[in-house]
Amino acid sequence: MENLEPIQRLLHAELPDSWINFRDMASVRSHVASYGEFTEIGQSRSGQEMVGYSFGTGVRKVSVIGGSHADEPMGPMTAQILVEAIGEFAPHLLDAFTFYVVPQMNPDGSDANRPWFHDPVDFKAYAKQAIREQPGDDIEFGFSTPGLRPENNAAMGYLKGHGPYDAHFSLHGMGFAEGAWFLIHEDWISRTAELQDMLTCCCAARNVGFHDIDRKGLKGFTRIAPGFCSTPNHNAMRAFFEAEDDLEMAAKFHPSSMEWVTSLGGGPLCMVSEMPLFLIDGSDSTLGDPVLFRFRDDLIEARAAGTDAALDALIEKHSVESFPLKEHMRYQLLMVVGALEMLSRR
């Protein structure tokens, strides 16, 4: 990439402690209101007010959402400080792009998981208390018309009024994996080679490994390289379950935010960040026998046992360790800044 200075600064800077903040919806509203440009966009299922905020003056447009999945706190956290981060590390992007951000897509789900939201995240608390919506109630796969949930309708109403977009970022996370995983819309795989190289080098610079799995296109996941995969889509999800003769499950999948933003036109670059809350030992993981699948099976057994001893044994067996939240945020920001640096030259 031509302009590596913002990337180098972001890669090596000490991120502010204040950026790590598990805000409830009232705090999110107060926080983004301090930026000036914010909009009440609708309500969550339980009636919590949702907000969007915008910043930047560029003619090119970027949409960002965070928190679609209830047990992924770092997406919203990053979305909530994005204006500060861009201003600190890549202020020239504020002149090239205008950003439209929904900083908390799932306030109800976030509140349900709040008992284990701490820095650092404790694995046993996570294993015992994490709550995640199932298919058919999944906000990320609910961007239908009308939306699957009121949260989808709120985000679509806000973002549609400003589209089409040049880029869309859905900030997610994983409970556990061997390392970083970045998802890229299939139309952009060949056009993001330099971005993939940059992110690979950034991970290597801080000794961050990669999640590497080959689902062979099932559900829309096509492996690109270690740490990189295509974004899934609802048609591929439905096809997978239809092939299993599970029509009820197939019907629960609706367009993702990436598909919906793409439908607005403009051929946007769509990416998803998938950093893990917990790192697991991937030294013996192979594409034919991914350690993630073994870990999931062991976690099911440990949860069924219902004892701290079973979870302690799981932690020891897989060398489970908390991935620092600042590092989680750092790599989400590197993805966004790196992608926009690339786009700004095209």
CA-closest candidate to residue 152, choices 139, 163, 162, 161: 139
State the average pLDDT over residues 170-184. 97
Say how far apart CA 313 and CA 236 lie, in whole Å: 37
Question: Can you spell out the DSSP letters for 215-250?
Answer: -TTGGG--EEETTEEEPP-HHHHHHHHHHTT-HHHH
CB 185 within 8 A of CB 231: yes
pLDDT digits (tens, 9 = 90+) for 264-312: 999 999 999 999 999 999 999 999 999 999 999 999 999 999 999 999 9
**Mean pLDDT rounded to a whole number for the chain:** 96
Residue 346, pLDDT score: 80
Name the H helices within the chain. Answer: 5-12, 25-33, 74-80, 82-89, 93-96, 107-113, 123-129, 150-160, 193-205, 234-243, 247-250, 257-263, 291-305, 308-318, 325-344
Q: What φ, ψ does residue 269 adopt, rounded to 5°?
A: -70, 120
What pLDDT was estimated at residue 91?
97
Rounded distance between C-alpha atoms, residue 267 and residue 343, angstroms: 12
> Residue 133: pLDDT band by 50, 70, 90 thresholds?
very high
Whole-number Å distance between alpha carbons of 216 and 170? 23
Q: What does the CA dihedral 8, 13, 16, 17 come to, rounded to 10 degrees? A: 120
Residue 287 CB coordination number (10 Å): 12
Res. 3: pLDDT tops 90: no
Predicted confidence band of residue 1 (pLDDT cuts 50, 70, 90)? low
Question: In this predicted structure, what is the pLDDT of residue 345?
Answer: 86
Structure tokens at 304: 């069924």
**Integer Cα distance of 42 and 152 in angstroms:** 9
**Residues 239/124, Cβ–Cβ less than 8 Å:** no
Write down the domain spans for the chain: 5-280+322-341, 291-319
Q: Are strands 38-43 and 49-55 parallel, antiparallel or unpaired?
A: antiparallel
**Confidence band (pLDDT; 50, 70, 90) for 127?**
very high
pLDDT band, residue 10 (cuts 50/70/90): very high
Choose which CATH entry (3.40.630.10, 3.40.50.1980, 3.30.1540.10, 1.10.760.10) describes domain 5-280+322-341. 3.40.630.10
User: How does pLDDT run across 194-217, given as a tens digit for each residue?
Assistant: 999 999 999 999 999 999 999 888
- Per-residue pLDDT at 2: 64
Q: What was the pLDDT predicted at 257?
A: 98
- pLDDT tens digits along 136-151: 999 999 999 999 999 9
- pTM score, two decimals? 0.97
